[in-house]
Each structure stands twice: as C-alpha cells, then as structure tokens.
Structure 1
C-alpha cells in the first residue's frame, strides 16, 4: 500500500451507514426533538439493545429496569441519552481490528471520554463535545491497525522498546493516529471544534487558534495514565499542579473525588456495548 498518507485515501476510511448517519445528525443538533431521536433509535435493533443495556447499567440505572427507548428518554434526560446513542452508533459503525481486545479498547475510550467530559464542564466547555472527542480520541490507532496491519505491528513493537509513536507512524505510514482520527471526524461531519481537539490532542500548544478540547483530551489521557501513582490524599494537590502546567483553569472543588469515581467505569460501559 506504500507510505501514502491515510488521510489522502479517504475512500478507505469507514463510512457511516445511512441510519447511523441520520442518528448522529439528530444527536449533534441542539434543537433536535428527543421524540424523533427515540423513534430513530427504536428502528435500529442493535443500537436499541445497546442503549437499553447501558441505560440499565449501574452508572445510569435506577431501581426498576426499563424496557423501551421511550422510557430511556424519560429516565435519562436529553444529554445522557445523546451520549448513549452516540456511543452505540460509533461502536456499531467501526470494526475492531484483529488482535485488539474490544473491551480494553473501548474501555479506555470511555474512560478518557468521561474524564474529558468532567474536565470540560469545569472549564466552561461543552461536555457533550468533550465526551465525543474522548470516545473518538484513539480511533486513529484502530484505523491504522485495520488499514496498515503489518506496519502498525512494527510500530507497536518499537513503541514497547521506547520509540516515539507519532514519529514512527509518520515515518512508516505517513500519518499520526491523531491526524487519522481528525480526518475521520471530519468525514463524519463533526464540529470543527471537535476535529481540532482530536488533531492536536498530543500537542495542544500547536493548535492555532487554541483548542480547549485538545487541552481536555491531553489532560484526561495524562491523568488516567498517572492516576494510580498518587495516594488519594494527594490527588487534589496533584490535579492542581497538572492543570496549572497545561494553563487550564478549572473549578477544582470536588474534582478529585469525582474523577476517582470514574476510574474503572470505562470497562463497564464497554461490556454493555460488546
């Protein structure tokens, strides 16, 4: 396949089925009628099943199990329902590459998404945009594994020995995972703000104009990678230090406790989508 950039081979990127594309159009429309969204979801058996499994999970569930999308609309409210529909649609549209554990892959995606969402709320950014960018943040890895499997295996082996992921991807494949993720998001007609967040997630300072969502992604990934290295009673001071390093101003009250409650929640969500 050569070293031609994947972003120049748009036809090889996953296409959204029409039904899922229509669902995402509704999800991304702030003025969309939730009854219309429920109706569209109800017409897709696979997505309906995923939404209901997640709606009845410990994270969203209540004392009584719900059995219809209409009930999910009432129980969950607009933003949580949009998040569940979005997650179900995206995970239904993209094949997981051979050799990649789907629970681990989507579990990491969800944890970054939940962290990004919480950070964004405290930074005055849109929580739903931050969640979506988190859910899509590592989709470039998956696409590189699907479209360039031999070279991706080379990259992974070298990274385990200490090589730089992005430099090696540029050399062997011609694109970074972040650029591939941004290209896919553009093809799927997500917002320019979300696309910029994906593109600059590994280097927020390179974004011009500045991208708050790139900062949220960068910080969310870093916090998750380092979380277990810090005692609980030191989390608040560590979080303050890390946000200051990135030039991010957040409402810090209760943040450590909130994020601690989100650690491990990604795997649960991934199980419901499998």
Structure 2
C-alpha cells in the first residue's frame, strides 16, 4: 500500500464529536471559563463519569470526595481536563480494535505521558502540554490497526521476530505510525507544536518547532521500556549518563527518585479512566 493511499483513508475514521471538539477548543484557550466548561462537560455522560473518576483518583483525590462536575474540574485543573478530552476523542474514534490490546495500549500511553510530564519542569516544559501530547503521541498505531488490520498483524509478527517497528511499517505501508499520527493530529486541528512532536517522537533531532518536547517523549518511551530492568540506582545512573536523549535534555540523577515514584501511576490512571 502506498503512503498516499493510506493517508487518503483518514476520512474513514470517525469524526470528532462536536461536543468534544467544542470542549477541546475551550480548554485550549488561555483563560478557561470553568462554569461554561462544567456545563458543556455535563452534556457528555461518559466524559462526566471520567472527570469524576479522575478527581477522586489517588493522583488528584483529597480528603473529601467530589460529586459535581464543577468541583471535579476545579480539583484537577484545565490541563488535566485537556488530557481527558484528548483521550476521550481517541477512545471514541477508535472504540474497538480487534488486532490491538487497547488495555495495554492505554496503559503504556498513559505511563509514558506521566513520566514525561513529571520530568517536564526539569527541562522547562509545561507538564500539562507534555501530558496531552504524550496521550496523542502514538495515535498512528491506532490508525494502522483500524484502517489496515491485516497489515498491522503482519507488522506485529515481524517486530516480534526482531525487526525494527518503524522499518517494518515503512516497508509494509510506505509510511510509519509517527507520520500518520501527525497527519491525523493536524486534521483534527491540534496545535503545531503537538503535531511536530508526534511526527518526530522517534527522531527528535528532526523536529522543527518542538525539538525538546519530541526528545522528552522519546526519552519517556525509553524509560518505560527499560527502567524496570535496572537492578539498582547505579544502573539507572549509567542509563541517564549514557542515553543520548537524557544527555541532550540534561536529565540529572535527582530525576531517578522522580521516575521511581511515578512508575505505575500512568497505568493506574488509564485503568481508572477506561474501565467502563
């Protein structure tokens, strides 16, 4: 299949529900009207349940549980709402994919997003923007499994045999998941910085407007894949001192404790949000 043939099938994907598009536009504004945001969110049953679940989760929960949408929004903040809206857009556009374990997909996606967002302040990036981009960073994989499931199975089989994911995707599809994801993010009118980071998440050096963001997400993916195999802090230090992305971002040894603490939180949040 040619690259253009696959990209031309973007219109086969479900369109963003108007209420979700309106909510995304609202939370992307500099000054968010929380009352209007609450009113709009109340119109979307699944999203309402998820914002309440998020507000009462271990990550955001206080001494007292909240039961109103307005209180939930105030507790989690507009950045978390933006993330929730973005993930809801994806889950509504790709509700069921036979060739992909969506539970594992969301678990890994949120784990990477959480790691990146916790490291964001140390590299002078906004944690909320980083988290939202993290949630979107691998939408190209969802597209491949949704539009060309037979080719997706072939790609998975070859990757399990030891071949490079991106190389196989380009061999089979004449394109890869990051490029497809960026095209979809652009079609859905996400900010240019997010589109650029998604396109270059596996090659951050090629990013034009968001090199640091792409590099951080690339590093977070590496951490998610390798961190649990390290036996002690010495091995983790060696990893930080030798990994090109960690060195480019000047990730300090102090971040070891940050990463250790955040491990598992993304998976837990994904389970809480998508267990319906």
Could you state the TM-score of these two structures normalised by the residue count of structure 2? 0.90
Which residue in the other structure is 1:239 paired with?
Answer: 240
1:10-159 aligned within 5 A:
10-159=10-159
Q: Is the 8 A contact 2:155 2:169 kept in 1?
A: yes
Aligned partners of 1:55 and 1:61 also within 8 Å: yes
Secondary structure at the counterpart of residue 60 of structure 2: coil
TM-superposed CA distance for 1:151, in Å, is: 0.8
SS in 1 for 2:125: coil
Q: Are 1:200 and 2:200 counterparts?
A: yes
Q: CA deviation at 1:147?
A: 0.5
Partner of 1:258: 258
Return closer, same or farther for 1:184/1:14 CA change in 2, 3 Å cut-off: farther
Contact 2:110–2:266 (Cα < 8 Å) also in 1: yes
Is 1:249 the equivalent of 2:250? Answer: yes
Q: Which residue of 1 aligns with 2:2?
A: 3
Distance of aligned partners of 1:140 and 1:226 in 2 relative to their CA distance in 1, 3 Å threshold? same
8 Å contact kept, 1:133–1:194: yes
Residues 41, 253 of structure 1: CA spacing in aligned structure 2 closer, same or farther, 3 A cutoff? farther
**More relative contact order, 1 or 2 (CA 8 Å, 6+ apart):** 1
Distance 1:170 1:244 in 2: 24
| CA–CA distance in structure 2, aligned partners of residues 11 and 145 of structure 1 | 15
* CA distance in structure 1 between the aligned counterparts of 2:215 and 2:14, rounded to whole angstroms: 27
Provide, for residues 139-172 of structure 1, a one-character-per-residue CA deviation record: whole Å limited to 9, x for no partner: 1111101100111111110111111221221221
Cα contact 1:13–1:184 (8 A) shared by 2: no
SS at match of 1:77: helix
Label 1:64 to 1:88 Cα distance change in 2 as closer, same or farther (>3 A): farther
Q: Which SS does the other structure have where 1:168 is aligned?
A: helix
* Distance change >3 Å, CA 245–CA 63, structure 1 → 2: closer
Superposition map of 1:152-231 within 5 A: 152-208=152-208, 211-231=211-231
How many residue pairs match? The answer is 272
Deviations along 1:71-130, whole A, 9 cap, x unmatched?
A: 112322333343334333433343231132222110111011111212222111222221
CA contact (8 A) 1:51 1:88 kept: no
Q: CA deviation at 1:178?
A: 0.5
C-alpha distance in structure 2 between counterparts of 1:84 and 1:169, whole Å: 29
- Consecutive unaligned residues of structure 2, counting only runs of 5 or more, are none
Per the TM alignment, residue 176 of structure 1 is displaced from its structure 2 partner at its CA by: 0.2
Distance between the aligned counterparts of 2:176 and 2:247, measured in 1?
Answer: 22
The answer to whether the 8 A contact 1:56-1:66 is kept is yes
Q: Deviations over 1:207-232 (max 9, x none)?
A: 34561111011101011111012234
Deviates more, 1:148-157 or 1:110-119: 110-119
In structure 2, distance between residues paired with 1:51 and 1:254:
32
How many angstroms apart in 2 are the aligned matches of 1:96 and 1:86?
17
Q: TM-score, normalised by structure 1?
A: 0.90
